[in-house]
Homo-oligomer: A and B are copies of this chain.
């Protein structure tokens, strides 16, 4: 069995390699890559069936890499191994994992045993494994009070890259007023009203972006990739 490790931190990579050979002795060959782009390439040329991958990396991050890997070979097993449990990553993964592929999401703070368990379960047994911490975030993010539905999330992204209401309306095909309704519920769900109790007037737009970042609903990479998406859309609009 061939396994690819995509990880830009050399210490983490070698730790991972150790754990991997212990957990899955069936492994015959281990490949390394230090960023998403390289990872995609190796996965393709070496016909890799199992991947362990960090999420934040220079050049293409883990999610983007996973997207192309899965688009080429959907049955590839991928274990994401990340420092953070950001909602943005969860959304990214949820929206790209093929119907019946095995994957996992583990935090780097997990113990060595849990890591080994997850490695075996995902890469070999083709199970789905999600870290307790991550699961907790997932639940919180899905609590009806706080959950952003997809349409709200889209508007949040547009807001985050600095689009004005009118442009968002055009891009998403809704009326100006509807965009503003989305914004209202965003402000509500991100908790921007009561905030400091008193009549402390804030710039809600900026505040929304700020809150989204601080609560890890968005992260900086999300901003960058939303920007790229937008530019692509710009070209194709008539």
**Chain B, residue nearest A207 (CB):** B162
How would residues 199 to 234 of chain A score, 1 for a CB under 8 Å from any chain B CB and 0 otherwise? 011111111011001100001100110010001001
Chain B residues within an 8 Å CB radius of A200: 167, 234
Q: Are A159 and B206 in contact (CB under 8 A)?
A: yes
How would residues 138 to 173 of chain A score, 1 for a CB under 8 Å from any chain B CB and 0 otherwise? 000000000000000000000111111011000000
Q: Are A214 and B224 in contact (CB under 8 A)?
A: yes
- Interface of A (DSSP majority class): helix
Flag whether A99 is at the interface (Cβ < 8 A): no
Chain B's nearest CB lies how many Å from the CB of A81? 13
* Bound Cα distance from A15 to B12, whole angstroms: 11
* Bound Cα distance from A206 to B163, whole angstroms: 8
Of B159, B204, B227, the residue contacting A162 (CB under 8 A) is B204
13 A-B pairs within 8 Å (CB atoms) are namely A9-B11, A161-B207, A163-B202, A164-B203, A167-B200, A167-B201, A200-B234, A206-B206, A209-B210, A213-B220, A214-B223, A214-B224, A214-B227
